[in-house]
């Protein structure tokens, strides 16, 4: 700790479970928001069934559970602007980027222009992204 | 004796659906719910296997769990019947036993 500034590490949260069937998706989101409050360098990865967490049009009225999918669209306001979705996971589920919510952030260095924070990436790129991290947390 | 088999896990996550389809007696009913609804969707890695299984089983899927996951009833494999909670109850009463594949 120098000049009152904390250490910034690269944190990566890997989400591999569908929402609502287990508590992992919601718990991950809570932990991500906590880390964001500590101004860390955060990346989110959605792979395997985790890609279902980001689908648009989730409607939980019928199952009597809280719909937390809107929270993902607020991640940009917490300065989380690196959300990676594995392309191969989408493909083997018959999904595409069009089935997912749009995630945006406002770039303070570019007159608050709205920019995409969701990136569909191939397996090879994802390997590199994960390898660059200081801390990887699995959900 | 007619049995209703229930599967509540994604086929990508566990092999419960595959075990169910392998070990259930032909003529049984299979209901997919919770994360199990993923197994009812078209164009997944498991769609062909599930489509084939419809030769032996009547397959049902719980609609509210489809909607919760942002999926679409229109993308359910042809021949799988979408039911609501009342339909779930009907299935349990119409069958002699219910076997859950965890």
Residue A1 has pLDDT above 50, yes or no: no
Structural domain contains residue A76 = yes
Q: Structure tokens of A131?
A: 């390898």
Into how many domains does chain A fold?
A: 1
pLDDT mean over B4-30:
98
Residue A2 has pLDDT above 80, yes or no: no
**Cβ of A20 and B69 within 8 Å?**
yes
Q: Give the range of the structural domain holding residue A97, as residue numbers without chain letter.
A: 10-138
pLDDT-above-70 percentage for chain A: 96
Q: Are A85 and A121 in contact (CB under 8 A)?
A: yes
Structural domain contains residue A5 = no
What residues contact residue B86 under an 8 Å CB cut-off, 6+ apart?
none
Going along chain B from its start, the domains and CATH numbers come out as 3-101 (3.40.1260.10)
How many beta carbons lie within 10 A of that of residue B44, not counting itself?
Answer: 22
* pLDDT confidence of residue A3: 52
**Cβ of A18 and B35 within 8 Å?**
yes
Rounded-to-integer distance, Cα A126 and Cα A51, Å: 14
**Does B71 reach chain A within 8 Å, measured CB to CB?**
yes
Structural domain contains residue A2 = no
Chain B residues with CB-CB distance to A60 below 8 A: 67-68
Strand order in the sheet with A83-86: A118-121, A83-86, A41-46, A10-15, A135-138
**Does B34 reach chain A within 8 Å, measured CB to CB?**
yes
Structural domain contains residue A42 = yes
| The model's pTM | 0.94
Rounded-to-integer distance, Cα A118 and Cα A51, Å: 12
Residue A65 has pLDDT above 70, yes or no: yes
Structural domain contains residue A69 = yes
Structural domain contains residue A1 = no
**Cβ of B69 and A17 within 8 Å?**
no
Q: ipTM score of the complex?
A: 0.93
- Strand stretches in B19-65, DSSP E: 29-32, 58-62
Structural domain contains residue A3 = no
Task: Specify the DSSP class assigned to residue A112.
Answer: T
Q: What is the CATH number of the domain that holds A25?
A: 3.40.1260.10
Residue A5 has pLDDT above 90, yes or no: no
């Amino acid at each position: 700790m120098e000049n009152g500034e904390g250490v910034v590490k690269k944190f990566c949260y890997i989400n591999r479970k569908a929402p609502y069937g287990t508590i992992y998706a919601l718990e991950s989101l809570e932990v991500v928001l906590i880390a964001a409050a500590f101004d860390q360098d955060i990346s989110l990865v959605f792979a395997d069934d985790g890609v279902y967490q980001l689908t648009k049009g989730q409607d939980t009225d019928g199952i009597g559970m809280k719909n937390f999918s809107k929270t993902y669209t607020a991640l940009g306001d917490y300065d989380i602007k690196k959300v990676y979705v594995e392309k191969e996971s989408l493909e083997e589920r018959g999904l595409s980027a069009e089935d997912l919510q749009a995630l945006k952030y406002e770039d303070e260095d570019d007159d608050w222009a709205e920019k995409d924070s969701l990136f569909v990436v191939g397996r090879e790129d994802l390997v590199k992204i994960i390898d660059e991290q200081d801390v990887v947390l699995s959900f | 004796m007619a049995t209703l088999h229930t599967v509540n896990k994604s086929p990508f996550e566990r092999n419960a659906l595959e075990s169910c389809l392998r070990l259930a007696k032909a003529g049984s009913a299979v209901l997919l719910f919770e994360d199990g609804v993923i197994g009812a969707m078209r164009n997944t890695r498991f769609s062909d296997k599930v489509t084939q299984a419809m030769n032996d089983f009547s397959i049902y899927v719980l609609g509210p769990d489809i909607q919760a996951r942002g999926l679409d009833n229109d993308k359910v494999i042809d021949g799988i019947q979408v039911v609501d909670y009342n339909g779930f109850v009907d299935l349990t009463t119409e069958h002699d036993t219910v076997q859950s594949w965890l």
